[in-house]
């Protein structure tokens, strides 16, 4: 049932083009408004909301980090993101002018479900983004966006994460259409680019030699750092989680601009730094961050867009991804980093599909 792949995790990484296509089909069509059958939010309702909270756990929370940036950008509604187990206990400001978006692959995560119930009790409306039809979260939410990633068996979330991102962009575009915060041309350009993602992800998946080489180089290490700015920081956070849970290598993600404020103290000779660089307006700033760590002896692997030739002058290893809009480029940048985590775990001989101490669905609080 692994379809010829060594692990479910690898199979699921390779299923991402299909998962993306299935999630977008019939919902995202250039020249037409976004079509979300199970979301019943009107322009009047949106005008009434003072803020959106995105609440989730783990990788679903990491998807929410990107969702915040995308959604604020598209709809201009303020969005906050929080971890469900923190949000619950901090007496959040929820009332009937709050829209809550919960994200959960399984639809059964206890803390996320508790947030949904609390929010509804306080009068908020809840949209659920989930991958499991009939799950508790899908049944109790007011509105649902089903990601069509198909069953995810590997404990580390990969294809579900990518489809969560697409779901958040689709909802963001939908809100932008309701609120007229972007022109039809602007939104059409984004829709068209989203629809090219399946083939671009497939292209990335067809060229994995460099990722494997880098995995081979770092598989014996104790600490790895991820560095990113803007949306690349949120991608760095997810890439770091993936590496940690699959390979048991300690890793941390830092915002490039925060380097000087403390973490640069940890950069020493021979340490590996992994840097997604997809945001064109932040590329120069990231390159100076890279120079800073390289001058302290770091080995750098950059993941960047095809036209960014300069980066090869500073980084030891560069993985190029197909070009797209900056807003959606992170969806591509994470793919080689998922593969990196997979191959590091493989070279270490670990149980990739079932990392130690982890469960696929966390139904305890
Ligand atoms: C990480 C991972 C976990 C889950 C988290 C939430 O790869 O899989 O961090 O993302 O337990 O699970 P769901 O999305 O089912 O609520």
* 103 CA → ligand 1 middle, Å: 9
Q: Which atom of ligand 1 is nearest to the CA of 58?
A: 9
Q: Could you tell me if the CB of 58 is within 6 A of ligand 1?
A: yes
Structure-token pair, residue 169: 């962009």
Closest protein CA for atom 16 of ligand 1? 104
Q: With bands split at pLDDT 50, 70 and 90, how would you rate the model's confidence at 350?
A: very high
358: Cβ–Cβ under 8 A, 6 or more apart, which residues? 155, 156, 245
- CA of 62, closest atom in ligand 1: 10
Closest among 247, 223, 250 to 352, alpha carbons compared: 247
Question: Is the pLDDT confidence value at 242 over 90?
Answer: yes
Rounded Cα–Cα distance for residues 337 and 344 (Å):
10
Q: Is the pLDDT of residue 115 over 90?
A: yes
Torsion of CA 260, 262, 265, 271, to 10 degrees: -80
Residue 363 clears pLDDT 90, i.e. is over it: no
365: confidence class by pLDDT, cuts 50, 70, 90? confident
**Cα(320)–Cα(71) distance, integer angstroms:** 27
Predicted local distance difference test score (pLDDT) of residue 196: 98
Residue nearest to atom 5 of ligand 1 (CA): 58
The CA 140 to ligand 1 mean position distance, Å, reads 19
Q: Is 159 considered catalytic here? A: no
Distance 295 CA to ligand 1 centre (A): 37
Q: Chain-wide mean pLDDT for the chain? A: 96
State the residue for tokens 């993600």.
Answer: 253
pLDDT of 285: 96
Neighbours of 223 (CB within 10 A): 12
Q: How far apart, in Å, are the Cα atoms of 316 and each of 186, 290, 291, 312?
A: 37, 11, 11, 7
Q: Which two tokens stand for residue 304?
A: 């960047």
- What pLDDT does 354 receive? 86
pLDDT tens, residue by residue, 297-306: 999 999 999 9
SS3 at position 224 = strand
Q: Which atom of ligand 1 is nearest to the CA of 137?
A: 16
Q: Is the CB of 361 under 6 A from ligand 1?
A: yes
In a mutational test of the pocket of ligand 1, which residue from 9, 55, 56, 57 has the highest number of ligand atoms less than 8 Å from its CB? 57
Confidence of residue 358 (pLDDT cuts 50, 70, 90): confident
For ligand 1, the distance from its centroid to the CA atom of residue 129, given in whole angstroms, is: 13
148: closest CA among 10, 26, 60, 19?
19
Res 167: pLDDT: 98
Q: Which residues of 13-32 are buried (b: 16+ CB within 10 A; e: fewer)?
A: bbbbbbbbbbbbeebbeeee
Kindly give the distance from the C-alpha atom of residue 81 to the centroid of ligand 1, in angstroms, as a whole number.
16
């Amino acid at each position: 049932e692994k379809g010829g792949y060594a692990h479910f995790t690898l199979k699921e990484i390779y299923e991402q083009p299909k998962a993306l296509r299935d999630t977008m089909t019939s919902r995202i069509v250039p020249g037409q408004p976004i079509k979300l059958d199970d979301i019943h939010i009107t322009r009047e309702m949106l005008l009434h909301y003072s803020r959106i909270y995105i609440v989730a756990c783990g990788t679903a929370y990491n998807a929410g980090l990107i969702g915040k940036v995308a959604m604020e950008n598209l709809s201009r509604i303020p969005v906050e993101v929080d971890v469900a187990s923190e949000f619950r206990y901090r007496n959040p400001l929820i009332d009937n002018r709050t829209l809550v978006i919960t994200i959960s692959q399984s639809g059964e995560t206890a803390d996320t479900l508790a947030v949904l119930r609390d929010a509804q009790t306080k009068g908020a409306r809840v949209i659920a983004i989930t991958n499991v039809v009939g799950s508790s979260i899908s049944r109790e939410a007011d509105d649902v966006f089903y990601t069509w990633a198909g069953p995810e068996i590997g404990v580390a979330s990969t294809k579900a994460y990518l489809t969560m991102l697409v779901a958040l962009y689709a909802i963001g575009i939908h809100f932008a259409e309701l609120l007229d915060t972007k022109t039809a041309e602007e939104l059409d350009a984004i829709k068209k680019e989203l629809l090219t993602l399946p083939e671009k992800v497939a292209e990335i998946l067809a060229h994995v030699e460099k990722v494997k080489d880098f995995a081979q180089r770092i598989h014996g290490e104790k600490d790895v750092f991820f560095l990113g700015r803007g949306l690349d920081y949120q991608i760095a956070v997810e890439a770091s989680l993936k590496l940690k849970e699959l390979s048991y290598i300690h890793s941390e993600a830092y915002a490039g601009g925060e380097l000087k404020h403390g973490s640069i103290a940890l950069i020493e000779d021979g340490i590996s730094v992994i840097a997604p660089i997809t945001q064109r307006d932040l590329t120069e700033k990231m390159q100076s961050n890279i120079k800073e760590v390289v001058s302290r002896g770091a080995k750098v692997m950059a993941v960047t867009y095809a036209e960014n030739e300069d980066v090869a002058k500073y980084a030891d290893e560069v993985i190029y991804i197909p070009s797209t809009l900056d807003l959606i480029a992170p969806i591509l940048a994470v793919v080689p980093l998922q593969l990196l985590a997979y191959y590091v775990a493989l070279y270490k001989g670990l149980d990739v599909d079932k990392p130690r101490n982890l469960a696929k669905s966390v139904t305890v609080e």
